[in-house]
Each structure stands twice: as C-alpha cells, then as structure tokens.
Amino acid sequence: MVVAHAWHPALREEVKPGTMGRPLPGWSVKVLREDTNSAMARVDVPGRVVVDIADSPLMWFKGYRDAPEQTAEKFSPDGRWFYTGDTAARDEEGRLFFSGRGDDIILMAGYRIGPFEVETVLLEHAAVAEVAVVGVPDEEYGEVVEAFVVPRPGIEAGDALVAELQQLVRERYAKHAYPRRVHFVAELPKTSSGKTQRYLLRPQQAAPRSR
C-alpha cells in the first residue's frame, strides 16, 4: 500500500470526500504531466501517478522475473520513476484523487476523459445502481464515451432516463464528456474481488464508426 488514509494517531486526519489519501511513510508519490517525465502536473489536474524511487526507502520492486520488456514499461528511462499505471490529481495539501487506470483513459478529440469521473457523476442519479464507462472507437473523434448502466429495481430504463443521464454529466462534469450511448444491462462483468472489468465491455461495441 502506497497511498491511503493513515490510522496512526500521528498521521490520522479527517477524510476529505473523494480522496485516496496521502502517500504513506516510506513512500514519495508524485503526479507527472502526461507529456513529460520531468514536470509535475498542476494542482487539480489529473496526471500519471509515479513513485519517486530514490526518495522511497520502502520501494522493493525491481522488476518482473525473466521479463525485461515488461519491466522496462514500468520504469522511466532514467530509473527515477516507477509508473503505477494510475492517473490522479492532487490538491494543495498533497491529497490524491483517483482518476482512472492509464489504459482506461478515453481520448476524445484531444480531450482526456477519466471514466471514473463520469461514473461518479452518473451514480449520483437515483435510478442508477451501478455503472461502467468505456471509450469506443469513433472515426470523427477518435473515441467517444459510452456507459453501461445497471438500473435500480423498478426503474423504467428508456430514452427519458438516457437523456437525464447525459444531461447530468454535461452539467456536473463536462459538456463534451457525456455518454453518446447508454446501455442498460442486468449486471457488469467483475473480478472475484468486485472490481469492474471495463475491457470486457469494449469488445461488445462495433469497430470505428462514423457519426
């Protein structure tokens, strides 16, 4: 565990809603800009979460056994950073706010959209029990947002609800990030630990399509 809400009396503090917490003792965790290995992301702007190896005495991972190519993908060329694969933003006090996994980020017409943020907004709707958001290939925009929604029991899942969910994202997150399509499903694919497997939803979509 690298980032968390510490329980020790000397470190414990009131939990700020939505945050992952802070780097734990023995770890130095930074948020890099997406386009460089040398500059930090601005406050409240999502970037790549990395471990500063030289400044993290508890860092023990050196690489994958007999897999040099896979190991190289996890470390910066100069050996300074370990790439966690997560994206997050940090606030002024150094707390981290999870955005998504790097391979889940949706690239739409130059915008980087974290599925976690869109899912968080959609879950605010009283009709939504669970939701997963993915990027789907699109000829015009590169990718567009689509959502898989598990409605709460007794909810009528139709065009009216789709319009409400799309508008909710426009108003509370970003106008460009609303889901172009909303699919109502009985359940979402998950791991044995309950983590949603977004990659299993992507193949259900068609190849790049025109609008």
| Contacts with 84 (C-beta within 8 Å, 6 or more apart), sequence order | 2, 48, 49, 50, 51
Strands 142-151 and 181-184: parallel
Which single residue is written with the structure tokens 């510490």? Answer: 6
CA distance 30 to 55: 11
CA distance 90 to 41: 9
Q: What is the token pair recorded at 149?
A: 């929604």
- Residue 191's pLDDT band (boundaries 50, 70, 90)? confident
DSSP lists the bridge partners of residue 75 as 82
Runs of H (alpha helix) within the chain: 68-74, 115-122, 159-172
Q: Which helix (H) or strand (E) holds 30?
A: strand 29-32
Angstrom CA distances, 29 to 22, 62, 71, stand at 9, 17, 19
Does residue 22 carry a pLDDT above 70? yes
| Contacts with 75 (C-beta within 8 Å, 6 or more apart), sequence order | 53, 63, 81, 82, 83
Runs of H (alpha helix) within 33-182: 68-74, 115-122, 159-172
Domains of the chain and CATH, by start: 3-101 (2.30.38.10), 105-203 (3.30.300.30)
Relative orientation angle of helices 115-122 and 159-172, to the nearest 10 degrees: 120
**In the predicted model, what is the mean pLDDT of residues 99-121?**
82
CA distance 8 to 1: 15
Angle at alpha carbon of residue 150, lines to 148 and 155, rounded to 5°: 125
Q: What is the token pair recorded at 91?
A: 């606030």
Does residue 66 carry a pLDDT above 50? yes
- Residue 206's pLDDT band (boundaries 50, 70, 90)? very low
CA distance 73 to 92: 30
What rounded mean pLDDT belongs to the chain?
A: 88
| Contacts with 55 (C-beta within 8 Å, 6 or more apart), sequence order | 28
Total number of residues shown for the chain:
211
- Residue 207's pLDDT band (boundaries 50, 70, 90)? very low
Angle at alpha carbon of residue 20, lines to 22 and 26, rounded to 5°: 30
- Residue 211's pLDDT band (boundaries 50, 70, 90)? very low
- Residue 104's pLDDT band (boundaries 50, 70, 90)? confident
